[in-house]
Amino acid sequence: MLIVLHHWAADKDVAQVKRTIASLGLKPVAIPGAERTAIGVIGNQGWIEDSPFRGIKSIREIIHVTKPYKLVSRDFHPSDTVVNLPGKVRIGGRSPFLVIGGPCAIEGRDQIFQTARFLKKVGVKVLRAGAYKPRTSPHSFQGLREEGLEILDAVRKETGILVVTEVMSPEQVGLAAEKVDILQIGARNMQNFDLLNEVGRSGKPVVLKRGLSATVEEWLASAEYILLGGNRNVILCERGIRTFETATRNTADLAVVPLVKSLSHLPVIFDPSHATGRRDLVPQMALASVVAGAHGVMIEVHPDPEHALSDGPQSLHFKEFEALCRRISGLEGFMRRSSRK
């Protein structure tokens, strides 16, 4: 429920509405916005009756929100959310397009340091690399786990690069939150609700990947778990969905970028590596996402993709990645200039 007040509503009117909400055992949420004063209601499981609010003069309109998410919605937060990362790096709104690069899995100290130094050199400020690896088969490489987190902590301290890594389980959140700058919830865990709750409590910036077969509504409802836990630093990431087509690893659903931006205030990035699964398609899809309005991309790059322990076929070589970064930067500049016209 969303309660919109008349423009003339005074502080005591707002207070009256909030008291009424609280008296129902629910929680009022102030909705920011220059154009209107509004108060959201959360905490209910189902329909709320209008009757307790009927006598309040300052109320202009009561909107029943039937979506499974509220805090995530543009209705509750009309202006873009900008997520602040350490080192004055920002993502969302009109912030610069953010490129995140790195290997699928941490394979060792050298690989990570080599990649981080390369990224710094080409101007990329965030490194991705997996310590905990969710693998279909228990017989596949499961990641270096805690040892991997230590490598990430070392690389960010020595090089100053920011680091994002995936957490798969509530227990991993505490340690990971100390060792890296951004947590990631992978596609398989998009509806691991206890993990979402834990990440919500951590307050850490988090990349929330869309599930393999998650609708946009379900994806945003998963983000709602994190925001409801008190953490507004959520970055949504489209990484392709599962369809009948096998020519690509997944089907890049790029149209959700503008769609999600219309439904939610949260930043949205795109992962062309998982979305296509093919190195040769990554550059054009990464560029397309700039134009579609994404706030950033997450791209797999590896010092030696042919010998990567996972996702080699979709990882760029350093040279390819560097060329792509230049093209992204040029295209971003053009888009910015032309939107100002």
Kindly tell me which of 79 and 213 has the beta carbon lying closer to its own copies: 213
Contact 33, 96 (CB under 8 A): no
Tokens, residue 202: 């951590």
Q: Among residue numbers 14 through 53, which ones bind its own copies (CB under 8 A)?
A: 42-45
Rule CB under 8 A: say whether 317 interacts with its own copies.
no
Nearest distance, CB of residue 100 and its own copies, angstroms: 20
Rule CB under 8 A: say whether 289 interacts with its own copies.
yes
Q: Among residue numbers 180 through 209, which ones bind its own copies (CB under 8 A)?
A: 188-189, 191-195
- Residue 84 carries which DSSP code? E
C-alpha–C-alpha distance, residues 210 and 275, integer Å: 11
Rule CB under 8 A: say whether 241 interacts with its own copies.
yes
Nearest distance, CB of residue 146 and its own copies, angstroms: 13
Nearest distance, CB of residue 9 and its own copies, angstroms: 26
Nearest distance, CB of residue 164 and its own copies, angstroms: 20
Tokens, residue 321: 């990645």
Nearest distance, CB of residue 58 and its own copies, angstroms: 26
Nearest distance, CB of residue 312 and its own copies, angstroms: 13
Tokens, residue 93: 């709104």
Instruction: Kindly state the number of chain residues that form the binding site for its own copies, as judged by CB under 8 A.
Output: 75
* The one segment of 49-57, 138-146, 173-181, 297-305 that binds its own copies by CB under 8 A: 138-146
Q: Which of 144, 168, 183, 299 is close enough to bind its own copies by CB under 8 A?
A: 168
Which residues 6+ apart lie within 8 Å of 75 measured at CB?
A: 2, 31, 40, 63, 65
Q: Which of 97, 225, 318, 321 is close enough to bind its own copies by CB under 8 A?
A: 225
C-alpha–C-alpha distance, residues 102 and 167, integer Å: 16
Kindly tell me which of 46 and 55 has the beta carbon lying closer to its own copies: 46
* The one segment of 90-98, 105-113, 129-137, 158-166 that binds its own copies by CB under 8 A: 129-137
Rule CB under 8 A: say whether 146 interacts with its own copies.
no
**Residue 219 identity:** W
Nearest distance, CB of residue 220 and its own copies, angstroms: 9
Kindly tell me which of 154 and 203 has the beta carbon lying closer to its own copies: 203
C-alpha–C-alpha distance, residues 295 and 68, integer Å: 24
Rule CB under 8 A: say whether 93 interacts with its own copies.
no
- Residue 41 carries which DSSP code? E
First vs last Cα of the chain: how many Å apart?
A: 39
SS3 for 114-132, per residue?
Answer: HHHHHHHHCCCCEEECECC
Q: Which of 293, 303, 312, 313 is close enough to bind its own copies by CB under 8 A?
A: 293
Q: Which of 180, 235, 252, 299 is close enough to bind its own copies by CB under 8 A?
A: 252
Which residues 6+ apart lie within 8 Å of 217 measured at CB?
A: 67, 68, 69
With H, G, I as helix, E, B as strand and everything else as coil, classify residue 301: strand
Rule CB under 8 A: say whether 287 interacts with its own copies.
yes
Q: Among residue numbers 253 through 272, which ones bind its own copies (CB under 8 A)?
A: 253-259, 262
CA angle (183, 303, 185) in 5-degree steps: 15
Q: Dihedral, CA atoms, 48, 266, 176, 115, nearest 10 degrees? A: 160
Q: Which of 124, 155, 177, 285 is close enough to bind its own copies by CB under 8 A?
A: 285
C-alpha–C-alpha distance, residues 225 and 49, integer Å: 24
Rule CB under 8 A: say whether 323 interacts with its own copies.
no
